Structure 1
């Protein structure tokens, strides 16, 4: 039986304080949202707090970016200016990791995201994030890759250069010191 992924009461308090400060500092990301409702939802979902803590300690600087009325869920994205430092130099998935014979990276992004309890941003979500600010001006971020591309050995990533969001491709088994992934957590 797997251990529950929980953080201590003190860690919860510290994380909630950090998230609240970030929420208040970046109001343009969530102008119509009320922190007290978000905090209430977080307090009733300790596993989600654990995932947000994982996003935070790996350098993601998670923040609320939207609310889905249909599912009654708040969406937290990694909002660090550059791709999260604690998740860089990973290839795309376990298949890609296993295919490397030498110079293997430490891990792959799909495994890490799953372990963190989050999802990789899609291209649509990445573009939405870029409407809220300027991200990945020096780094890049892997995004969800369509099955058709992945079956051919590729994976896709994005960055922002020249005030434009670019989508690129690489072999899924590649990894770079300036590339990580951004995640989304639904609460």
Structure 2
């Protein structure tokens, strides 16, 4: 059982939860070697042991259906890059509007939270359009769902927000009112470890 995660992403996992999560992450790492051909699991695991708060964020990504996996390494940040690699937009993160301002602007039928609030509470960042397209180079994702992506401030100031999906073997970028939400739209996150 994890500590209350609603207010802080500094919660700690129990030893049993850490071990279980590391096993899941390692199995996924080995199953999808094409996502990180040059990298070795033992080095990723060593980083995770140094940064328990990152392990907690990965646990939240996993718990909400994101199936996080390593997709690269940043020399600049000296960090491994994890993205949500679930086939469809993470099930535990759907039916959310874009951000807090959008949530507060709704008069009726407000969703429980927003994508940006949820990402912050998990200690992760929402994928950018570029990151989303990079993810799609590693496989085929969001064939039935869609995912909010980080929206430039100028678009957001005008009330809009961006989302992506994959249809007809092509990655599409769309716009919507930031206050909208759909049961088939969630968001994907990234985490540097």
TM-score normalized with structure 1 length: 0.98
TM-fit CA distance, 1:70: 1.4
What's the secondary structure of 1:63's corresponding residue? strand
Match of 1:49?
Answer: 55
What's the secondary structure of 1:7's corresponding residue? coil
- What is the alpha-carbon root mean square deviation over aligned residues? 1.1
TM-fit CA distance, 1:2: 5.9
Unaligned regions of 5+ residues in structure 2, if any? 1-6
Distance 2:190 2:166 in 1: 19
Unaligned regions of 5+ residues in structure 1, if any? none
Once the two structures are superposed, what CA deviation does each residue of 1:41-75 show, in whole Å capped at 9, x if it has no partner? Answer: 00111000000000000000000000011110100
Match of 1:121?
Answer: 127
TM-fit CA distance, 1:4: 3.5
Match of 2:3?
Answer: none
What's the secondary structure of 1:53's corresponding residue? helix
Match of 2:37?
Answer: 31
TM-fit CA distance, 1:9: 0.6
Point out 4+ residue stretches in structure 1 off by more than 6 angstroms.
Answer: none
2:117 to 81, 93, 111: 111
Q: Decide whether aligned partners of structure 1 residues 113 and 162 sit closer, same or farther in structure 2, where only a CA change above 3 A counts.
A: same
Match of 1:174?
Answer: 180
TM-fit CA distance, 1:111: 0.5
